[in-house]
Amino acid sequence: MRLTVDREDYLIAGLAALAIVIHIAESALPTPLPGAKPGLANVITVAALLLYGWRAAIWVSLLRVLVGSILIGSFLTPTFVLSLSGAIAAMTAIGLGYLLSARSLGPVGYSLLGAMAHMAGQFYAAYLLFIPHPALFRLLPVLMTLAVGFGLLSGLIVNAMMPRLQAYVARERAPGG
Partner 1 sequence: MHNVCLTLLRRAIAPLAAALLIALPYGCARAPEQVYKTQFFTLGTVVDVSLWGVDNQRAADAVKTVENVLNEVHRRWHAWEPSELTRINAGLAAGQAVTISEDESQVLQQAKSLAEQSEELFNPAIGKLIGLWGFHSSDVPKGPPPPQADIDRLLAAQASMADLTIDATTIRSRNPAVEIDLGAVAKGYGVDLAIDALRKMGIRNAIVNAGGGLHAIGKHGNRPWRIGIREPTHASGIIASVNLRDDEAVHTSGNYERFYDYQGRRYHHIIDPRSGYPSSTAISATVIHRDGALADAAATAIMIAGPQKWTEVARRMGVSQVMMIGADKKVYMTPAMAQRIHFEISPAPEVVTSEPL
Partner 2 sequence: MRRADYIVLIFALVLLPVLYGTYWTRSAPGQAVRIIDATGEETIVPLTQDRHLEIKGPLGVSVIEIHDGAVRFVSSPCSGKLCVHAGWLRNGNDFTACLPNRVSIAVVGGTEGYDSINF
The one segment of 13-21, 40-48, 77-85, 165-173 that binds partner 2 by CB under 8 A: 77-85
**Of the candidates 92, 90, 71, which has an alpha carbon nearest to the alpha carbon of residue 17?**
71
Q: How many residues does the chain have?
A: 177
Instruction: Please report the DSSP string for 2-50 in residue order.
Output: -----HHHHHHHHHHHHHHHHHHHHTTS--SSTT----TTHHHHHHHHH
Count CB-CB contacts under 10 A for residue 160. 11
Q: Which of 38, 42, 151, 154 binds partner 2 (CB under 8 A)?
A: 151
Distance between CA 70 and CA 130 in Å, rounded?
21
| Among partner 2, partner 1, none, residue 73 binds (CB under 5-8 Å by kind) | partner 2
Containing H/E element for 126?
A: none
Among 35, 39, 97, 107, binds partner 1 (CB under 8 A): 97
How far apart, in whole angstroms, are the C-alpha atoms of residue 158 and residue 1?
34
Residue ranges in 132-171 that form contacts with partner 1 under rule CB under 8 A: 132, 134, 137, 140, 144
Q: Give the interface segment with partner 1, choosing from 11-19, 35-43, 57-65, 130-138 (CB under 8 A).
A: 130-138
Per DSSP, the three-state class of 78 is helix
Q: Which of residues 55-94 bind partner 1 (CB under 8 A)?
A: 89, 92-93
Q: Which of 36, 56, 117, 146 binds partner 1 (CB under 8 A)?
A: 117
- The Cα 37–Cα 28 span in angstroms is 9
Interface residues with partner 2 (CB under 8 A) are 30, 32-35, 73, 77-79, 82, 101, 104-109, 112-113, 116, 126, 130-141, 144-145, 148, 151-152, 155, 159
Interface residues with partner 1 (CB under 8 A) are 89, 92-93, 96-98, 100-102, 104-105, 109, 113, 116-117, 120-121, 123-124, 127-128, 132, 134, 137, 140, 144
